[in-house]
Structure 1
Amino acid sequence: MTTPANRRVQLHSAPNLRDLGGLAAGGERIVRPGAIYRSATLARLAGTDLDAFAGLGITTVYDLRTAGERATEPDSLPAGVRTVGLDVLADSTEDVAASVGQLVTDPAALAATLGDGRATALMEESYRNIVSLPSALSAYRAFYLDLIDPTRTGAALFHCTTGKDRTGWAAASLLLLLGVDEDDVRADYLQTNSDLLPALRPIIDAAAAKGVDTSLLMPVLGVSGEYLDAAIDEATSRFGDIDGYARKGLGLTHSDLTALRQRFVGLPS
């Protein structure tokens, strides 16, 4: 397995940012380093971090947040970076992760919503939606087609707000389609717990100061293998397997998937 630390990009104002490159993708081949990145929100990217981000050669950013999220906290990016808005949850009536900010000020409401195992169940349902909502299928189809557009140059990055759920499925599905072993895909997914949670400490501490049982927040602020399992199960039950998800769910062709691997998989240098 690839050492997680080798792929981290440490930017204080842009947490949970890492290169997907370097992961083994079958045989001697690997995901190309420096070609595609994942992160949390880039709304607070500033100062020397902005310069460091520019040095990564990222020319396209795929923003998987809702239209409301993008309008409230637009990305702060170097000049010339193209942004593609892809609202994965446009068809969702409610997303538990998105509502946490309101719940942390009301301990009783938080307990009623997330207590007694409800948080995990809600998160698993959210992941099923991320796989099969019409808006999700449309957004991820557009994501993949733009990634392989021969006119697109430079590196790419995709993100949502915390870079763990919508972004987590984008990374997991991409890596699986590129031939990365599921254990490595899972390790990248779970790495969010060590890369993101320290940046969320102010939110956790503020909630504790208001009397919130912060143990109720952890299933929503972090990630769990159960959530990824729910997403993979949804893709399998609806479309047969991850390849069926790409072909039947997203409408990608054999040529599209071949182009994806040609673009993002290569031999170590």
Structure 2
Amino acid sequence: MTATITDIERSAPVNLRDLGGIPVEGGLLRNGLALRADDLSVITDEDARILVEGGLAAVIDLRTKDEAALTGRGPLAGYPVAYHHLPLMESISAGMPDGDAPVIEHVAMGMMYARMVEAAAPQLASALGIIALAPGTTAFHCAAGRDRTGVLAAMLLLALGATDDDIVADYARTHGNMAAVMQRMKPTMGALMARLGFDLDAMAVTFPDEPMDISMHTMLARLRERHGDALAPLRAAGLGADTIARLRHRALA
């Protein structure tokens, strides 16, 4: 039976954070420019109210069409918040390792992230344009707030002039949240993965209990190896100097 929003228990996000405070070119990234999060479509009404009252103006949904169809926009649809659906993958299976009982391996994940940047460069460039022009805070999310969300966060921080070490440190903060993330995802992603032959509980068991840093280091290294500049795929897809300048201005305002 296909799950719908009416039979999915809503819960507070467990991997939501403001990117404020990260060193960027010219100073520190201010609070209130960008939030990264796990699934915002299944948050509670109270969480939605708090986000909007805190200045949320736009949501960028990085999930696939199937994920978005399962839960919709959730409570935030009841507020005057701009919604942008920019899937970074065609399907959930595109981000899954091969094998019946796949072991998530950090280097392989980093390689997958690099391919995602190249394949979804237009969506990522559009997302940075949205953040540059939004009249308030922009929140971007996928399901876990780890992979697709981590890729967009890295592209934003690169555009703002952050160092690799600071980009990697932000990405790796999700490591301590993964147990709670996997539990929160079970009603939604568990159902979708089951249809594709994946067991979310089994994947949680096979996930290496070690720092995640290597995935983001691998992505950045791979992109530079292929393109020289890690932002090159986005620049080729339309990310211009004017957008980067506006982002940097907004980041420090």
Considering the TM-score relative to the shorter chain, is it more than 0.5? yes
How much has 1:245 moved relative to structure 2?
4.1
How much has 1:52 moved relative to structure 2?
1.6
What RMSD, in angstroms, separates the aligned Cα atoms of the two structures? 3.1
Map 1:226-265; keep pairs closer than 5 Å: 226-248=214-236, 250-265=237-252
Aligned counterparts of 1:147 and 1:261: Cα–Cα separation in 2: 11
Aligned sequence identity (%): 26
Matching residue's letter, 1:86: L
How much has 1:68 moved relative to structure 2?
1.1
Larger radius of gyration, structure 1 or 2? 1
Map 1:26-105; keep pairs closer than 5 Å: 26-27=25-26, 29-76=27-74, 77=76, 78-90=78-90, 94-96=94-96
How much has 1:211 moved relative to structure 2?
9.3
How much has 1:18 moved relative to structure 2?
0.6
Label 1:202 to 1:85 Cα distance change in 2 as closer, same or farther (>3 A).
closer
SS in 1 for 2:57: strand
For normalisation by structure 2, the TM-score amounts to 0.78
**Per-residue deviation, residues 26-51 of structure 1 (Å, max 9, x unmatched):** 45x11121121100101221142222
**Per-residue deviation, residues 90-147 of structure 1 (Å, max 9, x unmatched):** 28862217x9xxxxxxxx921xx33xxx6445423421221111xx111101112222
* Count of equivalent residues: 230
How much has 1:174 moved relative to structure 2?
0.9
How much has 1:223 moved relative to structure 2?
7.1
Map 1:1-269; keep pairs closer than 5 Å: 13-27=12-26, 29-76=27-74, 77=76, 78-90=78-90, 94-96=94-96, 109-110=100-101, 113-114=102-103, 119-120=105-106, 122-133=108-119, 136-149=120-133, 152-201=134-183, 212=202, 215-218=205-208, 224-248=212-236, 250-266=237-253
Aligned counterparts of 2:65 and 2:212: Cα–Cα separation in 1: 26
For normalisation by structure 1, the TM-score amounts to 0.74
Aligned counterparts of 1:187 and 1:41: Cα–Cα separation in 2: 21
User: Structure 2: which 5+ residue stretches go unaligned?
Assistant: 1-9, 191-199
How much has 1:246 moved relative to structure 2?
3.9
